Amino acid sequence: MSRLRILSVIAVLALATSAFATSVTFQCEMGVQIQLGNFNPDTDQLVVRGSFNGWSGNANMLTATGTLYTGVAEIPAGGIEYKFVMVQSAGDVWENVNNRTATVPDSGSLVIPVVYYNDINSAESADVEVNFRVNLTVQELSGNFDPATDWVVVRGAHANIGNWGGAVQLLEETGNPGVYSAWIQFDNLALNVPIEYKFVILDGGDPNAASWETNNNRSFNPTGAEPDNLPPPSGNEYGEIIQELVYFSNVTPDDIITNDVDVIFQVEANPLLDRLQEVGYVWDVQTGDTIFSVESIQVAGFFNNWPWGNFSQDHYMYDDGTHGDLTAGDHVYAATIPFAAGAARALIYKYGANQLDAEAGFARNHERLIDDSQASYRMDIDCWGSPDTLFQEWPCTISGVEENAPVISGFELAQNFPNPFNPSTSISFTLSKSEFTTLRVYDVLGREMTTMNLGRMDAGKHSVSFNGSEFASGVYFYRLESGSFTATRKMLLLK
């Protein structure tokens, strides 16, 4: 191809691109951040990053007119999400708000109304010191925290608590075994703007071996009316915020058993046996393996880490009058499993056939609470398949039947939340029918970073967690494949 022809093609492509792009003006008022000392207009820059630029880079830099920063970007029509980011020598500082949104028209231009950075419109501020406190006695009993080697830290949306990273350690309080706390000072915090945080357990004190709380983010909210009593007699010019003592992940002693107990699981397998007799097979929802006859029955859950294909003999079930089974040959299988004090009281579990996950779709489980008031706890008989609809045509005759889970129509892959995230985010999606489902994560070069084989998932809404603690900061793509349905979205990992 001649050089002239190449230039002509480039020109045509440029014209075509501009014809389908709209000039979008972004506006952000930074006066409050300047007054608060969070932004220095002489050394810092403000950029906008979002779905239209891969949530990365400084190409969309904003320029200042006084304290109002504006910038124009050429963006194709459609919905966009974005945030403003302060680019500073110590690192980038993202807005701590939900992703902003706009709908770009297919012609003309769009001027997005002025917003304040972080939606903070007042320079009123306060100097505060916050007492972060967490009770780890349950985590010690459960074996999730070793006070001799592990750390508990606080991470949150401020540089003084690591900007969701780092290792600001809490220490055990004298006279309060299992209670860990730390006083942390904050300067010039905007009034009535919550600062979010979570407690994190670091295995061996390693910041990269982190176990985050599973509850929603916690927060504290400076008001400017905080008392300044510490240290006595006249304080130190920092108002005190003493946070409520909480349990890690909000798991309290009521959520664990305090006595050793033998739990007897029971399941009526008639739906499984009847389906095999009428249909001839059952599939494994994890791998698609096919079951033609029942060789064995097992029970799996968080208590044994869902050992599909690799069960110990302790988790096999019997219909021969042993291992807790009351009547041999009645198609009710039983297993007696010991639980030690400190184990979670809530049981989430399901049953397997031939060591395969064949009872219900992904995340469709039985749930019960352990009663540890006696040395042995016999649970009510479960009905095989009751958490799902896969066996609804073959009823139980002995046990009570739980309500089937609802089915929701339509395919959809939602935007992950939170986004940006560090280190974990939730990915939600909806399936209209039962299919083998896979979630893949790629980097910006198209390299496959991880694959989550979710097995055969039933119709309805689902959510899975993605942990990016082993990946570098940057843009990633997640792709859902379920039968003939595929969809891809972007997400941004910020450490």
Distance CA 230, CA 309 (A): 59
The 10s digit of each residue's pLDDT in 266-277 is 999 999 999 999
Confidence tier at 97 by pLDDT (50, 70, 90): confident
Q: Which residues contact 107 (CB under 8 A, 6 or more apart)?
A: 22
Identify which of 478, 429, 486 has the alpha carbon closest to the alpha carbon of residue 458: 429
The 10s digit of each residue's pLDDT in 424-462 is 888 988 887 767 788 999 988 888 889 888 876 767 778
How far, in whole angstroms, is CA 150 from its chain's centroid? 23
Rounded average pLDDT over 482-489: 85
pLDDT at 5: 47
pLDDT at 8 over 50: no
**Residue 395 contacts residue 281 (beta carbons within 8 Å):** no
Q: How far is CA 225 from CA 95, 127, 191, 352, in A?
A: 25, 11, 10, 58
Rounded average pLDDT over 389-406: 68
> Between 479 and 17, whose confidence is greater?
479
Distance CA 420, CA 491 (A): 7
Structure tokens at 133: 């406190």
- CATH topology classification for 125-250: Immunoglobulin-like (2.60.40)
Structure tokens at 10: 């480039």
Q: 3-class DSSP state for residue 487?
A: strand
Rounded average pLDDT over 395-422: 69
Q: How far is CA 271 from CA 289, 391, 396, in A?
A: 19, 6, 6
Rounded average pLDDT over 93-97: 86
Domain boundaries defined on the chain: 3-119, 125-250, 261-383, 412-493
DSSP 38-107: S--TTT-EEEEEETTTTT--SSSEEEEETTEEEEEEEEESEEEEEEEEEEETTEEEE-SSPPEEEEE-SS
Confidence tier at 400 by pLDDT (50, 70, 90): low
Q: Which residues contact 35 (CB under 8 A, 6 or more apart)?
A: 123
Rounded average pLDDT over 397-411: 54
Q: 3-class DSSP state for residue 441?
A: strand
Confidence tier at 175 by pLDDT (50, 70, 90): very high
> How buried is residue 18: exposed, middle or buried, by Cβ count under 10 Å (0-12/13-18/19+)?
exposed
pLDDT at 430: 85
Report which residue type is found at 101.
T
pLDDT at 11 over 80: no
Which residues, listed in sequence order, are joined to residue 68 by a DSSP beta bridge?
A: 29, 65
Q: What percent of the chain has pLDDT over 90?
A: 55
pLDDT at 179 over 60: yes
| CATH class held by domain 3-119 | mainly beta
> Between 9 and 376, whose confidence is greater?
376
Q: 3-class DSSP state for residue 181?
A: strand
Q: 3-class DSSP state for residue 29?
A: strand
pLDDT at 46: 98
Identify which of 292, 322, 291 has the alpha carbon closest to the alpha carbon of residue 309: 291
The 10s digit of each residue's pLDDT in 192-229 is 888 999 999 999 999 999 999 888 889 999 999 999 99
Distance CA 416, CA 123 (A): 33
Q: Do domains 261-383 and 412-493 have the same CATH topology?
A: yes
Rounded average pLDDT over 457-470: 79
DSSP 318: B
Distance CA 136, CA 301 (A): 24
Q: Specify the CATH number for 412-493; select among 3.90.1150.10, 3.40.50.300, 2.60.40.1930, 3.40.50.20.
A: 2.60.40.1930
Q: Please, what is the average pLDDT of the chain?
A: 88
**261-383 is classed CATH 3.40.50.2000:** no
pLDDT at 142: 82
Cα-atom radius of gyration of the chain, to the nearest Å?
A: 28
Interior CA angle at 214 toward 212 and 220, to 5°? 80
Structure tokens at 22: 């709209």
How far, in whole angstroms, is CA 188 from its chain's centroid? 31
Confidence tier at 163 by pLDDT (50, 70, 90): confident
DSSP 119: G
The 10s digit of each residue's pLDDT in 15-67 is 444 446 899 999 999 999 998 888 999 999 999 999 899 899 999 999 999 99
**Lookup result for tokens 């003006």:** 25
pLDDT at 320: 97
**Residue 358 contacts residue 434 (beta carbons within 8 Å):** no
Cα torsion for 7, 75, 38, 99, to the nearest 10°? -140
Cite the beta strand spans of 89-234 per DSSP E.
Answer: 91-94, 100-104, 109-111, 115-116, 125-135, 151-156, 168-172, 179-190, 195-202, 210-212, 218-220
